[in-house]
């Protein structure tokens, strides 16, 4: 079984109740829930929340694979990790060790069904234990040291490569992760073992954390949804 798990909580400080705030005419969490629901590889979509208001909104989505999981309020605090609610769900569910767990973040509404399907195909064929969604960045990056000086991270400034010859860096988008139930319960982590990545289009890199992000992502949704 393949389970898509979308954790959402009521207490968001940056944008209150942002997971059900409308963006491009729909509540934010609808977009990832729809993408997971319409992905052929997904058997069940679980939205885990502590909020009665969110439950009410989510219940009206009309998505046939969707279920709601009542997460413990202790796993919905500002300091609680995403892994804590993942483990809570897995320990309270009757799943097999070999089942696959897709962690999907509601704040990445540009994720599409075909991205999830493509990522799963690579997970199955690539011989990896876990996989994350990513974009490739080709900027030259520098690390800031405590004294304010800088060191290059991904290139030699004395031998600057041409862009077309530069591999760049892989950056997690946070949109989707796939791992087995057994691995997550053992390691208490979304990624483990041999890890690989699945490249998404550059426009999917935006996450909704601040009001300015909302304006940008809404315009992108108008184009790509």
pTM of the model: 0.91
Query: Using one digit for the tens of pLDDT, what is the confidence trace for 207-219?
Result: 787 788 899 999 9
What is the DSSP secondary structure assignment for residue 74, as one 8-state letter?
Answer: G
Residues 197 and 9: their CA atoms lie apart, in Å, by 27
Query: What angle do the packed helices 52-59 and 28-38 form, to 10 degrees?
Result: 50
> pLDDT tens digits for 101-126?
999 999 999 999 999 999 999 999 98
In whole angstroms, what is the distance from residue 100 CA to residue 98 CA?
A: 6
Phi then psi for 77, rounded to 5 degrees? -80, 175
In order of their start, the domains of the chain are 2-134+172-224 (3.90.550.10)
Coil, strand or helix at 142: strand
Counting beta carbons within 10 angstroms of the beta carbon of residue 189, is it exposed (0 to 12), middle (13 to 18) or buried (19 or more)? middle
Mention every residue, 6+ apart, whose C-beta is less than 8 A from residue 114. 39
Q: Which residues have a catalytic role annotated?
A: 160
Q: Which of 34-38, 71-75, 94-98, 154-158 has the lowest mean pLDDT?
A: 71-75
């Amino acid at each position: 079984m393949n389970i898509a798990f979308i954790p959402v909580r009521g207490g968001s400080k940056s944008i209150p109740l942002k997971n059900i705030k409308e963006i491009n005419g729909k509540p934010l969490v609808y977009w990832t829930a729809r993408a997971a629901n319409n992905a052929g590889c997904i058997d069940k979509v679980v939205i885990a929340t502590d909020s009665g208001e969110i439950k009410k909104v989510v219940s009206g989505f009309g998505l046939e694979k969707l279920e709601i999981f009542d997460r413990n309020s202790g796993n919905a605090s500002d300091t609680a990790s995403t892994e804590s609610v993942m483990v809570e769900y897995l320990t309270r569910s009757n799943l097999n060790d070999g089942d696959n767990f897709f962690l999907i973040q509601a704040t990445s509404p540009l994720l599409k069904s075909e991205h999830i399907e493509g990522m799963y195909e690579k997970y199955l064929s690539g011989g990896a234990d876990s996989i994350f969604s990513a974009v490739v960045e080709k900027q030259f990056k520098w690390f800031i040291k405590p004294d304010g000086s800088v060191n290059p991270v991904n290139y030699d400034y004395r031998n600057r490569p041409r862009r077309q010859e530069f591999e760049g860096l892989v950056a997690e988008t946070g949109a989707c992760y796939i791992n087995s139930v057994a691995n997550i319960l053992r390691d208490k982590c979304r990624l483990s073992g041999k890890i690989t990545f699945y490249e998404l289009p550059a426009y999917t890199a935006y996450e909704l954390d601040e009001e300015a992000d909302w304006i940008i992502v809404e315009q992108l949704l108008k184009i790509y949804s």
